[in-house]
Amino acid sequence: MRSRLPQIFFALSTLALVLIVLAVWQASTPSWKTYQRNFLQLEAQGEPSAVTKAAVLATPPEIHQVMLTGLQRVDRCTTCHLGVDDPTMKNAPEPFRYHAGLGPHIPSRFGCTICHGGQGLATEKDAAHGKVDFWQTPLLTRDYIRASCGRCHKEGDVPGVPELTEGRHLFETQGCRGCHKLNGVGGSIGPDLTEEGANRRSPEWLEHHFIAPNAVSAGSPMPNFHFTSEQARALTYYMLSLTNEEMGTYYSSVRLIPSPEYGRQLFVEKNCIVCHAIGGIGAKSGPDLLGVTKQHSPEWLDEQLVNPDLVYPGSSMPEYDLETNARKALVAFMTSATPQDAQEILSGKGHTLTPEDAAIEAGKRDFARFGCAGCHGTELQGGLPNPNAQGGEVPSLLHVSDDYTKDEILAVIRNGRAPPLDKASGPTPPLYMPSWKNLLSEEDIHHIVDFLWSKQQKSKESW
Amino acid sequence: MNLIREIWQSIVRRDPLSTDKGKSELVFFNVWLHVHPAKVKKENLRFKHTFYLGFITFFLFVILLTTGIALMCYYRPFPPQAYQDMKDLQFVVFMGPFLRAMHRWAAHGMVICVFLHMCRVFYTGSYKKPRQFNWVIGVFLLLLTLSLSFTGYLLPWDQLAYWAITVGTNIGSYAPIVGGQLRELLLGGHSVGEAALLRFYVLHVAVLPTLIILLTIVHFWRVRKDGGLSRPVWKLKPNKTETLVTIGAPLEIAPLKTGPASKDKTYGLMEVVTGKPIFETVTPEEEEDAVFSYPYAFFREAIALMVTVTGIMAISLFFHAPLEELANPAKTPNPAKAPWYFLGLQELVSHSALLGGVVAPALMVIALLAIPYFDRNPSRRPSDRKWALWLFSIFVVANLVLIVVGTFFRGPGWALIPPWVHVVAGAE
Amino acid sequence: MNRRAFLNWGTAGLVALCAGVGVSLGAVLRFLVPSVFYEPPQSLKIGNPADFPFGAPTFLADEKIFVFRDRDKGFAVASAVCTHLGCTVGYLQSDQRFHCPCHGSVFGANGAVQHGPAPRALNWFEVTLTRDGQLRVDKDKVVPSNYRLMV
């Protein structure tokens, strides 16, 4: 035994030497070096003289990275995608091809992953493209890449991406917020969507989910809204753009300019006129907005738009999930707004508002904004399947005045209600009426009931 | 030339190694080597006696220290950066994946080897008088090793780390009265967060390594003072019970004999202290058995070192350390598991929180600490201590079974699923 | 086995071991050399030529450079790092000189030392035009103070 020791010692030290040499070799031959060598050869072809050719080929290999502090990311994609900002590489093979049509989105300022997805820190192909376990955002395919525009362009029309505008519009009108929270505003029956785009859900999954929720997520209480494939695509785009990332000012400044015109558009869209008047024209439940920018600083108004209750405790003004520039635009509009504007906005509605009409109008707005329409339908028709609830579906609201008094309905909205069971032994129905008293002011609840009753009368008259 | 020789002589200050005096002085005159005696018993060096587990554990710790210091150069203990630094180690730092893998696998290896070393010491009865307290130190070293591994587990700040620590610290919070507060103190908050990462980092790179180094010094020193390694069980004298008498041990067999110190000797201090020279009373047969530490012991230790290093390097070359998604407190993986060495406890907790969180770990630690004092049987021969061996074996096997079940047989929802059945995780 | 063979195997093993340790030390040294820098790169694009005004230089704080643009002479880029002990100098338009706040070094408009403890003139960096029409500054390439890029 003793006599073998030197041989064992020799064998082991040789093995150690081999292993450490292997480890060094493994570390010195990453795949990106091959790509850089190939690129240099490609580049050298274009050089006129042998001297410059040799100089190009002698470039030492190194990892290129773009530090994007404003986007909180580091992109190393250009370690292999070396021709991205070189127009002479227009016809080069991938991964060296020039990226045409970027406009102001230059790679040194924006990197790659903010639009394309993938793993910017990685330097190996599969890992960098995010096609590995444990990376939530793989590269977006051609079909979905334009959804990324919505990460910075959070407001208004995004040129060339009508899907985003449509998706946002559907989200706010179909009552999605009734179940889903977005940026802190909305219900809690479904998952919070604030960071939906950052979750590892494939675009295909999302799109399929909008068309048939139960097909991809068994037992999901989400009703089938019978979206068309275009609508499903639009909503998928919108979902993919929701990442809740901190963006530096450089990137937020490329968002929509907060012009008075945009503010006016929002003023119409959010139906502000049903509570506020401008110079006496309009409704009276909120303060008159003429000259409001002279009484309050822009910061004060901005805060009021973010959180009305904080500025005026007990204010009946609801919280709107408005972007920074949207609030700025509204303030800009209020600076210039005249009674004539109000008249025009009202005449666009086709009739002048009595206080009763104003309340009904406000109720209608709240009905859409807080997502009641998500379950009860935009026309109050109800009818979403709700297994084991009485009748097996969400009740229609067209005939509530026959079965309930106003006070009873007020109580149901305030406190919520579990639907009466069809079979007592059956499973709990997935959908239920949430309690709204912490989300809606008493005034809002009354407006909604007024709105419901206005619909009742209409349906009775037509009877 | 003379100058060079003079410089060399001033450094080594010993006779040539071809002489016995030189071989002894190599040990005596070297601060690092003199934890060894000049001569060791050949039989004690046999592989089948110790399996060199103590040495391997120590060498793994040395690997951990060196790779750990290297990794610290690229690590910032703050939540988002910590994870980004892991990605940097993986993708841009030269040899980063290799060093991280070495650190990771050496850490797992150390946990295993500490445990195996403890088993060896138990089965050879080496914790018996006069080594009782060194066993206790060993138990503390085991606990420190587990703590080091546990604190290091959080540092990558990925999902694996985050939830393993969340689950692991919650097991501890079942301890009565102080459990909850202890957890908050450790985490610096109510849940695993920025404060926890910093605290775990401080423990991992400063507090725990210092403690483990200090205790290791004491552990080694006591082995030396207790007469080196214990005798292999096959060399125990058949009829006598343990007769080893060493410095520091209460002298029950030979009463303290402090004869008048010789007037012409200066080294009599030892005799005054113990009345005995600093080695075991040995029979002539044993005297023959003794060999010089150089080269017999040192060569074998060097080989143990190289087996350890090459083994870890070979594993690290082919298997990289895992790294999952960035820690996400809002999304619990299913199932969320503690580090593997705590999975036995998690398994128990899944049946009874009190049993797994309080009773079992407390009993385990107390039982381990009490073993050398509770076991009054003076004999080290396996035939004399059947009960002890049986009990300990049951303890070891129970631990292993629970860990194996927790690691391989628990699927989503902590349901019992064999590893060969593939479970498709349900859509969220 | 005899003593000689013992020594030969042992010596060969020792040689292999030393080689292994040598490679490891080299590898660790290479490990400590950063492959990427979390700082502005030495060679960087600073934007379109049209972004820079004529007259007073544009100071880029992150990059620590002054970009001069002269209607007739074109572009030049000066380092804002004092050659004395590395403080950042400021440019006074009123007297057209660089002033270091730390130890009072003063540099002329061409970067030459006029006053104070600075041992050398300020560095001027090469500035070139990239293929996509942007200005690129390379801080690794120091040029004479009369270097100009005509655009």
All structural domains of chain B, each given as residue ranges with its CATH number in brackets, are 23-233+285-331 (1.20.810.10)
Q: What is the pLDDT of residue A415?
A: 84
CB contact under 8 A, A23 and C27: yes
Which three-class secondary structure state does DSSP give residue C143?
strand
CB contact under 8 A, A6 and C45: no
Q: Are residues C30 and C48 in the same domain?
A: no
Residues spanned by the domain of C86? 43-143
CB contact under 8 A, C16 and A3: no
Q: What is the pLDDT of residue B19?
A: 87
Closest CB to C35: pick one of B93, B99, B306.
B93
**Contact list, A67 vs chain C (CB under 8 Å):** 38
| Residue B323 contacts A, CB cutoff 8 Å | yes
Nearest residue of A to residue C36, measured between CA atoms: A63
Closest CB to A13: pick one of C8, C17, C26.
C17
**Position A2, amino acid:** R
Is C24 contained in some domain?
A: yes
Is C125 contained in some domain?
A: yes
CB contact under 8 A, A10 and C38: no
**Contact list, C9 vs chain A (CB under 8 Å):** 6-7, 9-10
Q: Are residues C33 and C79 in the same domain?
A: no
Mutate one of C17, C18, C28 to test the B interface: name it (highest B CB count within 10 A). Answer: C28
- pLDDT tens across B162-192, in order? 999 998 898 888 888 888 898 999 999 999 9
Q: How many domains does chain C have?
A: 2
Q: Are residues C31 and C73 in the same domain?
A: no
Is C151 contained in some domain?
A: no
CATH H-level superfamily of A256-352: Cytochrome c-like domain (1.10.760.10)
What's the token pair of residue B285? Answer: 């047969």
C-alpha to C-alpha distance for A392 and A154, rounded to whole angstroms = 39
Asked if pLDDT for residue B84 goes beyond 90, the answer is yes
Q: Specify whether the CB–CB gap between A276 and A283 falls below 8 A.
A: yes
**Residue from A283, A287, A273, A441 nearest A356 by CA:** A283
What number is the average pLDDT over the span C91-110? 91
Q: Are residues C11 and C28 in the same domain?
A: yes
Q: Give buried/exposed letters for B192-203 (b at 16+ CB in 10 A, else e).
A: beeebbebbbeb
Q: Specify whether the CB–CB gap between C111 and C98 falls below 8 A.
A: yes
C-alpha to C-alpha distance for B175 and B178, rounded to whole angstroms = 6
What number is the average pLDDT over the span C38-47? 81
B375 or B62, greater pLDDT:
B62
**Contact list, C23 vs chain B (CB under 8 Å):** none
Assign a CATH topology to domain A357-461.
Answer: Cytochrome Bc1 Complex; Chain D, domain 2 (1.10.760)
Q: What is the pLDDT of residue A306?
A: 82
**Position A289, amino acid:** L
Q: Are residues C101 and C121 in the same domain?
A: yes
Is C6 contained in some domain?
A: yes
Mean pLDDT of all residues belonging to chain B: 85
Closest CA of chain C from B95, distance in Å: 6
- pLDDT tens across B110-132, in order? 999 999 999 999 999 999 888 99
- pLDDT tens across B32-50, in order? 888 888 888 888 888 898 9
User: In chain B, pLDDT over 70 holds for what percent of residues?
Assistant: 86
**Contact list, B90 vs chain A (CB under 8 Å):** 122
Mutate one of B88, B91, B292, B325 to test the A interface: name it (highest A CB count within 10 A). Answer: B91
| Residue C72 contacts A, CB cutoff 8 Å | no
Which three-class secondary structure state does DSSP give residue B75?
coil
CB contact under 8 A, B310 and A19: yes
Q: Are residues C32 and C55 in the same domain?
A: no
For the CA atoms of A294, A295, A296, A298, the dihedral, rounded to the nearest 10 degrees, stands at -10
CB contact under 8 A, C31 and B95: yes
What's the whole-model pTM score? 0.81
Closest CB to A24: pick one of C5, C23, C36.
C23
A40 or B228, greater pLDDT:
A40
CATH-assigned architecture of domain A143-249? Orthogonal Bundle (1.10)
Task: Return averaged pLDDT per consecutive 10 residues of chain A, 463 residues in all.
Answer: 75 94 94 94 87 89 89 92 89 90 82 92 93 87 90 79 90 86 82 82 87 82 87 93 81 63 81 83 82 84 82 76 81 85 75 70 78 80 78 81 85 84 78 79 84 71 48
Q: What is the pLDDT of residue A26?
A: 93
| Residue C131 contacts A, CB cutoff 8 Å | yes
Is C33 contained in some domain?
A: yes
Closest CA of chain B from A367, distance in Å: 29
Question: At a CB cut-off of 8 Å and minimum separation 6, what does C101 contact?
Answer: C87, C88, C89, C90
Asked if pLDDT for residue B393 goes beyond 90, the answer is yes
Closest CB to B323: pick one of A24, A124, A134.
A134
Q: Are residues C70 and C89 in the same domain?
A: yes
Q: Are residues C78 and C8 in the same domain?
A: no
What's the token pair of residue A213? Answer: 């929720």
Q: Subunits that touch chain B (at least 3 Cβ pairs < 8 angstroms)? A: A, C
B96 or A213, greater pLDDT:
B96
**Residue from A255, A234, A244, A245 nearest A143 by CA:** A234
Is C95 contained in some domain?
A: yes
What's the token pair of residue A388? Answer: 């084991």
Q: What is the pLDDT of residue B146?
A: 95
User: In chain C, pLDDT over 70 holds for what percent of residues?
Assistant: 95
Q: Are residues C33 and C52 in the same domain?
A: no
| CATH number of the domain to which C62 belongs | 2.102.10.10
**Residue from A223, A201, A224 nearest A211 by CA:** A224
Q: What is the pLDDT of residue A106?
A: 80
CB contact under 8 A, A26 and B317: yes
Closest CA of chain B from C47, distance in Å: 28
Q: Are residues C82 and C123 in the same domain?
A: yes
| Residue C30 contacts B, CB cutoff 8 Å | yes
Closest CA of chain B from A24, distance in Å: 7
Q: What is the pLDDT of residue B427?
A: 36
What values do phi and psi take at B281, rounded to 5? -70, 125
**Residue from B168, B141, B161 nearest B61 by CA:** B141
What number is the average pLDDT over the span C54-70? 88
Asked if pLDDT for residue C17 goes beyond 80, the answer is yes
**Contact list, B305 vs chain C (CB under 8 Å):** none
Q: Specify whether the CB–CB gap between B149 and B111 falls below 8 A.
A: yes
Q: What is the pLDDT of residue B250?
A: 47
Asked if pLDDT for residue B247 goes beyond 80, the answer is no
Q: What is the pLDDT of residue A238?
A: 93
Q: Specify whether the CB–CB gap between A100 and A140 falls below 8 A.
A: no
Q: What is the pLDDT of residue B248?
A: 43
What values do phi and psi take at B82, rounded to 5? -60, -45
Q: Are residues C76 and C121 in the same domain?
A: yes
Q: Are residues C57 and C82 in the same domain?
A: yes
Q: Specify whether the CB–CB gap between A227 and A151 falls below 8 A.
A: no
**Residue from C129, C82, C126, C132 nearest C105 by CA:** C82
Which three-class secondary structure state does DSSP give residue A355?
helix
Closest CB to B92: pick one of C17, C32, C36.
C36
**Residue from C37, C120, C51, C38 nearest C79 by CA:** C120
Q: Work out the widest C-alpha separation in chain C, in whole angstroms.
A: 89
Which three-class secondary structure state does DSSP give residue B163?
helix
Q: What is the pLDDT of residue A351?
A: 54
Closest CA of chain C from B100, distance in Å: 12
Q: What is the pLDDT of residue B143?
A: 96
Is C148 contained in some domain?
A: no
What's the token pair of residue A65? Answer: 């990275």
Q: Subunits that touch chain C (at least 3 Cβ pairs < 8 angstroms)? A: A, B
Nearest residue of B to residue C7, measured between CA atoms: B295
